[in-house]
A and B are shown apart, each in its own frame.
Chain A
Amino acid sequence: MGRKTDITLLDEKGIRCDGRKIDQTRNITIKAGILKNADGSAYIEFGGNKIIAGVYGPRDIHPKHLADSDTGVLRCRYHMQPFSVPERKNPAPSRREIEISKVIKESLQPAVILDDFPRTAIDLYLEVLQADGGSRCAAIDAASVALADAGIPMRDMVSACAAGKVENTIVLDVNNEEDQAGQADMPVALMPHLEKITLVQLDGMLTPDEYKKCLETAIIGCKQVYEIQRSALKAKYENGG
């Protein structure tokens, strides 16, 4: 946050550094069912983010002591490839990746009906091939499609999008430059039909009014993402699964 930059983040016409308007998301494309071996999968391009989500399960859980006799267990690993960022990333899981894996898992748990599968695990793997700011939201969007593609019963989809503050203006879908040099970044995940927010984080500085506006803006973004997720799933089955 708040790093110096030479880029004009927002010009006087309200156009952002990548040519978008303040209420516009980057280009998003999602494809369901792209992995042969996985029970469910999805590929997302969200701006410059390129992420594959793969789901295995419900299946036997290892190590066995993690089994829960009341419910299934959702496990999640968010993992960046060493080549996904400008400076090579050490392939071992970083503390950031471990935290993101946890918040992504907790954003999806409310939607997945785990009680139907006691003593089993649903393993969700999120492989970031290229990262471009907002990768946790893009990963959630792909994950939700992959879970549905795996036929796992869900209460709702989970759709995620960030909002933030740039040049004292609330903007939708913060990109990498805006994340580095902007004033706030707030990733949000929403179950669009149940109207429940399952992920919210923030770094930056917002007044109470801006906080409200930022949440509202992110929710609008989530609803746009939902439509894209829905068409991705429909497209797979219309094309014969």
Chain B
Amino acid sequence: MANKTIIEQLKREQILDLLQEGKRIDGRALDEPRSISIETGIISNAEGSARVKLGDTEVVTGVKIHPDKPFPDVGDKGIFICTAEILPIADPTAELGPPNENVIELARVVDRGIRETGMIDLTKLVIKENKSVVGLFVDNSVINVDGNLFDACSYASVAALLTCMIPKYELQDDQPVQIEGEKSKPPVNTIPVSVTMARIGEHIIVDPNSDEWACMNARITITTNSDENICALQKGGSDGFTFEQLIKCSELAISTGSKIRKQLEAVA
């Protein structure tokens, strides 16, 4: 971030003053995420879709499914790929052109969270081993930015995956052909929940909004699975955490995550 504006500096002071009293700029408790609304099945051309609002951060996500060649070293597994894009309508600072490092990090952290929990049993998405597998392509389009895109994209991806319907394919003359009318629910093992926290001064807050995002010292995204194991981590921002702070973050990720998981389970 080049050139911090005067307004950002003033806001940081105000946010820090409030945190000293245990308060946040939008009135939430320190460990309280913003309200989450999830709509599914909003894009009929996609095999699965969701629109998620996390406060004023808003994401539309679609799952497209088609047969593909497996990756050479994992011929016994289907393909799962998750991407993210911040659309130019989402924010005055959003730029056209190739994705910058922030967008690449966003997509990779969302992908890693879902992949490492093993949410989808990819071994059940094989049409013929080493030859043809089913590919799940999850594309997140951010349409409004108000901080913490990581969690919004993660919830939207999970909701779209939970509600997608996978077509059935079989090989005819070595080519995968879709069998009309036969669709099945995805093979779901567990429900990943990503929880992003920011450190501002010595305070840890859950689900930072864009004002908090602009003035944080460091952030961390922790993804847990349904058994409340920790499956993915990503620290970001230009400062660090102490060991004790990282332990506290893991506890917050588990406790906050279990509430959000109930909301995600309800869409399936």
- Residues of chain A touching chain B, judged by Cβ–Cβ distance below 8 Å, are 1, 3, 65-70, 73, 95-96, 98-99, 101-103, 106, 109-110, 186, 191, 195-208, 211-212, 215-216, 219
Contacts and interface: CB of A to CB of B under 8 A. Distances in A.
A205 B229 contact: yes
A203 B118 CA distance: 11
B104 A99 contact: yes
A216 B242 CA distance: 12
Contact of B235 (A199, A203, A216): A199
Contacts of A186: 233
Contacts of B243: 195, 197, 215-216, 219
B241 A106 contact: no
Contacts, number: 106
Interface in B214-268: 220, 225, 228-243, 246-247, 250-251, 254
B101 A198 contact: no
Nearest to A102: B101
A70 B235 contact: no
Contacts of B128: none
A202 to B, nearest CB: 4
Given A196-B242, A197-B242, A201-B233, A99 B116 contact: no
A86 B21 CA distance: 56
A110 B233 contact: no
Interface range for B: 35 or more
B2 interface: yes
Nearest to B239: A110
Given A95-B107, A197-B246, A202-B233, 13 more contacts: A96-B108, A106-B237, A106-B238, A110-B239, A195-B242, A196-B242, A200-B235, A200-B246, A203-B116, A205-B230, A207-B229, A208-B230, A216-B243
B233 A200 contact: yes
A212 B104 CA distance: 29
A202 B239 contact: no
A208 B251 contact: yes
Nearest to B223: A202
Given A99-B105, A196-B241, A201 B247 contact: no
Nearest to A190: B240
B32 to A, nearest CB: 21
Given A196-B240, A203-B112, A208 B228 contact: yes
Contacts of B118: 205
B194 to A, nearest CB: 13
A202 B2 CA distance: 29
B239 A109 contact: yes
B3 interface: yes
B235 A103 contact: yes
A202 B231 contact: yes
Name, among B2, B231, B235, the residue most crowded by chain A CB atoms within 10 Å (CB to CB).
Answer: B235
Nearest to B220: A200
B230 A206 contact: yes
Contacts of B237: 106
Contacts of A102: 101-102, 104-105, 236
A201 B250 CA distance: 13
A98 B104 contact: yes
A205 B116 contact: yes
Contacts of A211: 230, 250
Contacts of B229: 205-208
